[in-house]
Amino acid sequence: MKKNERFRLFSNKIVAMIALLLLCTCGSHIKADSISPNVVQPPMLLHYDRPATVWMTSALPIGNGELGAMFFGGIEHEHIQFNEKTLWKGSTSSRGAYQSFGDLYIDFPEHDEVTNYRRELSLDNAIGKVSYDIDDVRYVREYFASSPDSMIIIRISTPKKKGKVTLSVCMETEHNVIQSVSSNFITFRGKFDILSYEAQACILNEGGVLISDNNRITVSNADAVTILLTAATNYTITSNDYLGESPQQLHERLSKRISNLSTKSYAELKHAHLTDYKPLFDRVKFSLDVPMPDMTTDKLVGLHTDNLYLDMLYFQYGRYLMLASSRGMNLPNNLQGIWNNNNMPPWECDIHTNINIQMNYWPAESTNLSECHLPFINYINTEALRENGSFRNLAASEGNRGWALKTQCNIFAYTDWNINRPANAWYCMHLWQHYAYTNDIIYLSKTAFPIMKATCEYWFDRLQEDPNTGKLIAPDEWSPEQGPWQDGVAYAQQLIWELFNQTLKAITVVDADPVFTAELKDKFAHLDNGLEIGSRGQIKEWKTDTEGLDNQSNQHRHLSHLIGLYPGNQISYHKDSLYADAAKITLTSRGDEGMGWSRAWKISCWARLFDGDHAYKLLKSALNLTDITIVSMNNQDGGVYENLLDAHPPFQIDGNFGATAGMSEMLIQSNMGFIRLLAALPSAWPAGSIDGLKTEGNFTLRLVWKNAKPVECSVYSGSGNRCVLYYPDIHIAKVMDNAGNRVDFEQMGKNKICFSTVKGQEYKIIFDMK
């Protein structure tokens, strides 16, 4: 049987079975750490009534964690620009830049006059779609990036009509490559400073005639066409030279990948994609009790930002982008995730260490995507401990143990532009957070703790005694990206405090060298914690304000002296109102504008101060529609594009992730040793439900609220820890286990209750509504 004929063998029975399997998958427990779903979330859908015209502002992203694309939805001329996470110029001795892999074009002759055009991206299914009518024929295209098959898949069909698909396909790149077109394959390959790379496209027609020439493939009068597109480099992070295979081996790997898939039906490919993706995305459902509005997404974000559906959509968009850009290989997403159409992109699309790469992973744990955190964590694990690696060599060049890095990094661990020593402590916050949310002791012992220990040793060697206070301070540090380099700046001191504090917590779980433990305790006891109140009642950014920057009118985009508020845990009204009030003064003076990512950071900061309405104001500020695509440092230009990608500007994905993390903080917080329900609920969300958020202690929650008060809460215990719930003036009627049995609980003052849990059990908390 010819392989193309296999695509004709769809049967209604097979399709029905697949649909039934998907329905069962979506309606049952997704995995063991997910509580019973009952939150009804409307469809999460971006949709438009016209093709995209600008890559950055209107094209729509798909991705499988490594391989990504942006599709435009053009009618006569479709453009799919694609990327692969490791396609970098540069080396271990030069920064280089992340590169666009190439462009796939599909031409549709005589498709100029169409009606009922629609372009959409389903977050629920991670499938893009374009549809329109020509006379009585409905044309449908589908686009998705499959993680199990490592492939971008495009399907063009005319349901219920045969012989109506005529098109031509070509593939281009701006790089110097060798390209070939043969039979139904288009291939190009090339080489950069270190890496070899290759892309392959396979065109599979169902019926009709396929013809290839020297630069394109044409299909005439087919029933349907499926395009398989894959691309990769020979990069591997575990090798000393970052190479894992020869160019020929790379070619053979991609050829085998496509060969294996070309024998499968489109229904099989789509089913594999959905079976992989939906269990991850469906872990969290968020509803604000409003339907999907009857308007396109560009109109929604441009004219109706007060619509609550947009809040839900933007929250889930961050989770979608996380799944699309951070799975697979042990390499984190970059400044633009994996999507880039520019071979000289802003800031090289690098791994940027003074907020950006960290913000990219703020929502990973709380929004139940711990797996997506691992590419960043494993990258840290590899590079921080690499023998003769640049991070360790940088620390050694200063006479210190451990490791350090500068602000900008490429995928070969080359690091430059302003040493950013406290970033190693910031990275360690991610190592600890993954443990705090998963309680994976093996991970803590084998992966996180050795790096945390090495990082502490770096600061043991670097810290100096302040002659005025006797406290330990970090000499000659900065407050990104402004001000004088000075001893004991708040940015450094607060991050070192977080590092020492979390490492001491880790020591209570894993075996640690008693000599190291004793030194850590001593250093922590004598550490300047970076919290000092200034003349305006604010958190001081520098010990001495030599340049007059710590003033009421300074609205700098960075909040470096508020690390202890968020993402850190040192500043809280649960601890000390003096510093929490000072943080509020600082936030107020910084203002509500900023780059897209800066506005997103402020959402979480205000949420940590339990001011839901101000956090919500920042959320709406972050949703400010813009079309500016050039680099701007004007605070007024930040926001989002009509495709909801975050605008620094230009596009910078950290703002998407930061906003999703901020909305999670508005609903549930767990960083103070207990779970605070509706921690910063805005008045705009008086009723709603969230199902699947994770907390420290490895709990998964479902929470329903009405009239701005919780009415039902379910807690799934992933580790069997004691559960402590906080809500102001909490009144609980009863706690029940899976079997409906009452569970004893303790009232801890007027605001907390606690109860013991069993691993794998779910508990329902009934609130006393008196």
What confidence category does residue 351 fall into, taking pLDDT thresholds of 50, 70 and 90?
very high
Question: Does residue 612 sit in helix, strand or coil?
Answer: helix
What gap in Å lies between CA 336 and CA 182, rounded to an integer? 34
Helix or strand run (H / E) with residue 654: helix 654-667
Residue 405 included in any domain:
yes
439 located within any domain: yes
Long-range pairs, 439-447, Cβ under 8 A, ≥24: 439/697, 439/698, 439/718, 439/719, 439/721, 441/509, 441/510, 444/506, 444/509, 444/510, 445/509, 445/510, 445/511, 447/377, 447/378, 447/381
- What domain count does the chain have? 3
Task: Please tell me the distance from the alpha carbon of residue 639 to that of residue 200, in angstroms, as a whole number.
Answer: 36
Structure tokens at 74: 């053009």
Residue 718 reports pLDDT greater than 50: yes
Q: Is 36 a member of any domain?
A: no
Instruction: Name the 3-class secondary structure at 567.
Output: coil
The pLDDT of residue 604: 98
**Rounded CA separation 320/765 (Å):** 30
Tokens representing 293 are 């509005």
Which domain range does residue 760 map to?
688-767
Q: In the structure encoding, which two tokens stand for residue 725, read together?
A: 């719930």
Hunting for tokens 């903080």 — which residue is that? 665
Cα gap 575→1, rounded to integer Å:
71
Residue 181 reports pLDDT greater than 50: yes
- Which residue in 545, 550, 613 sits closest to 582, CA to CA? 550
CA distances from 264 to 7, 237, 260 (A): 8, 32, 8
Structure tokens at 21: 């399997």
Q: Residue 16 above 80 pLDDT?
A: no
Mean pLDDT for the chain overall: 94
Residue 758 has pLDDT above 90, yes or no: yes
* Nearest partner of 269 among 230, 226, 231, judged by Cα: 226
pLDDT at res. 305: 84
Average pLDDT over residues 14-40: 43
Average pLDDT, integer, range 286-292: 97
- Please tell me the total number of residues recorded for the chain in this structure: 770
d(CA 595, CA 617): 15
Mean local confidence (pLDDT), 573-594: 96
- Higher pLDDT residue, 6 or 689? 689
Query: What Cα–Cα distance (Å) separates residue 370 from each residue in 46, 322, 327, 366, 551?
Result: 25, 10, 10, 8, 39
Q: In the β-sheet with 415-419, what is the strand arrangement from edge to edge? A: 351-352, 406-409, 415-419
**pLDDT higher than 90, residue 522:** yes
Write out the H or E segment, with its range, that includes residue 700.
strand 699-706
Mean pLDDT, residues 347-369 taken together: 97
Clarify whether residues 394 and 262 are in a common domain. no
- Predicted confidence at residue 416, as pLDDT, reads 96
Instruction: Supply the pLDDT for residue 21.
Output: 39
**Nearest alpha carbon to residue 345 among 97, 176, 102, 103:** 97
> Where does a domain end: 237, 263, 283?
283
User: 31: which DSSP letter?
Assistant: S
Instruction: Tell whether 681 is covered by a domain.
Output: no
pLDDT tens digits along 464-492 = 999 999 999 999 999 999 999 999 999 99
Query: Do residues 75 and 175 share a domain?
Result: yes
Backbone angles phi, psi at 377, to 5 degrees: -60, -45
Per-residue DSSP letters for 213-273?
-SS-EEEEEESEEEEEEEEEESB-TTSTTSB-S-HHHHHHHHHHHHHHHTTS-HHHHHHHH
What is the reported pTM? 0.94
Of 556, 574, 602, which residue is a domain's last?
556
Same domain assignment for residues 477 and 546: yes
Residue 711 within a domain? yes
- On the question of pLDDT at 456 being above 70, the answer is yes
Is residue 37 predicted with pLDDT exceeding 80? no
Interior angle at CA 715, CA 712 and CA 716, nearest 5: 145
Residue 380 has pLDDT above 70, yes or no: yes
- pLDDT at residue 739 tops 60: yes
State yes or no: pLDDT of 192 exceeds 90: yes
Let me know whether 365 and 505 are in one domain: yes
Residue 41, pLDDT above cutoff 90: yes
Band of residue 4 on the pLDDT scale cut at 50, 70, 90: very low
Q: What is the CATH number of the domain that holds 729?
A: 2.60.40.1180
- The answer to whether residues 402 and 499 belong to one domain is yes
> Taking Cα atoms as reference points, which of 531, 530, 514 lies closest to residue 522?
514
Using the structure block, give the residue that is written with the tokens 């040493």: 419
First-last CA distance in the chain: 71
CATH of the domain at 207: 2.70.98.50
Q: Is the pLDDT of residue 14 over 80?
A: no
Q: What angle do CA 182, 185, 188 make, to 5 degrees?
A: 90
Q: Is residue 646 part of a domain?
A: no
* Confidence at residue 552, expressed as pLDDT on a 0 to 100 scale: 85
Looking at the fold, whether 267 and 373 belong to one and the same domain comes out as no
Do 434 and 516 share a domain, yes or no? yes
Residues 413 and 505 in one domain: yes
Q: Give pLDDT, residue 38.
A: 73
Residue 707 lies in a domain: yes
CA–CA separation, 146 and 277 (whole Å): 8
- The predicted structure's pLDDT at residue 478: 94
pLDDT tens digits along 245-286: 999 999 999 999 999 999 999 999 999 999 999 999 999 999
pLDDT band at 770 (very low <50, low <70, confident <90, very high): low
487, 347: one domain: yes
What are phi and psi for residue 312, nearest 5 degrees? -65, -45
Q: Which pLDDT band, with edges at 50, 70 and 90, does 445 fall under?
A: very high
DSSP code for 388: T
714 and 765 in contact (C-beta within 8 Å)? yes
Say which CATH number the domain at 397 has.
1.50.10.10
Condensed to tens digits (0 to 9), the pLDDT of residues 588-615 reads 999 999 999 999 999 999 999 999 999 9
**Is 22 part of any domain?**
yes
